[in-house]
Structure formats: C-alpha cells, structure tokens
Copies of this chain bind each other. A is one copy, B any other.
Amino acid sequence: MQLNAFWRIITLMKHALNQKPDYEKELRKAGVRITRPRRIILDILTSTEDHPDAMKIFHRAIEIDDSISLSTVYRTMNLLEEMGAIHRHAFNGGPSRFEQAHGEHHDHLIDVDTGDVIEFQSDKIEKLQEEIARALGYDIIHHRLELYGRKSKRPE
C-alpha cells in the first residue's frame, strides 16, 4: 500500500483494516426496517471491493434469494444513499455504480479498458480545490474527481 505526504491509495485500506461498520444496527436506530432483501444487499455492498451497478447487485442478490426484485434493489440503493451508507457514481455517464461509504473521502481512477476502479486521495488537490472555490465565492458541497486511464506500457 502506497503512502506519502501528497496522496495515498484508499482501495485496499478498507479491507486491510477490515472496516465493516454495522450498518444494520445503525439503520435500525434510524428507524429503518431491516428486511431480508435489505440485509442481503447490505452484505453484498460491504463485502465487495468493486463498484457494482444496480444490475450487478441484483444478480448477486438473486443468487442468495431469487425472489428479490430489481425494483427493490433500486429502492434500497436510494434509501442507503439517503442514509449516507453508500455513495453513488456515474462514471462516464453510464449507469449508477455504488460503493459502501466507508469513512475516508476519496477520488477515483477508472481503468477505461476494464472498468476497474482504484481509489486514492490527495490532500494537496483537496486544498487547491478549496482555494479555487473560495476565490470564486463558493463553498464546496461536494466534488468529484475522476481520472480515466489506461495501464502504462512501461510502469515505473
């Protein structure tokens, strides 16, 4: 795992640290009913490293319980997003892809050939964004930095 003063890779960190927040308890506390479909979807989300879209989540879900419907997946994603448990991305304008909202904010490098996603974070970039927004008279609500790249021929 890379680590230096300017930026760091996030992807592997959450699993290395085995951060699996107990969403079930959290959600219940917030008055959300924990149903069978929701529990299954949460499990899928907390145990994957990728950023699946609704259809992919649906397919993984019906392998566990084939009565789950696609609309429930969509409804659950909306619910979890509102509760702040997941984040939604629209890479390249494609279908929404989701990831569990583990603590650290991070940006994404998307492999244009495979769709793979690497998460990283740079305080330096973050700080520059703040500076620019402030100078333009704005407060940043959220932001989105996506690098679309291809594996280098000769990695250094």
A residues contacting B by CB (< 8 A) are 2, 6-7, 9, 88, 90, 92-93, 96, 109, 111-112, 118, 120, 122, 124-125, 128-129, 131-152, 155-156
Contact = CB atoms under 8 A, between A and B. Distances in A.
A148 B139 contact: no
Contact of A146 (B143, B151, B156): B143
A138 B151 contact: yes
A132 B111 contact: no
A88 to B, nearest CB: 7
A93 B152 CA distance: 29
A91 to B, nearest CB: 9
B138 A150 contact: yes
Contacts of A136: 2, 9, 109, 118, 120, 149
B147 A143 contact: yes
A16 B3 CA distance: 44
Given A125-B125, A144-B145, A144-B146, A152 B139 contact: yes
Contacts of A129: 125, 145, 147
Contact of A140 (B7, B96, B120, B149): B149
Nearest to A135: B2
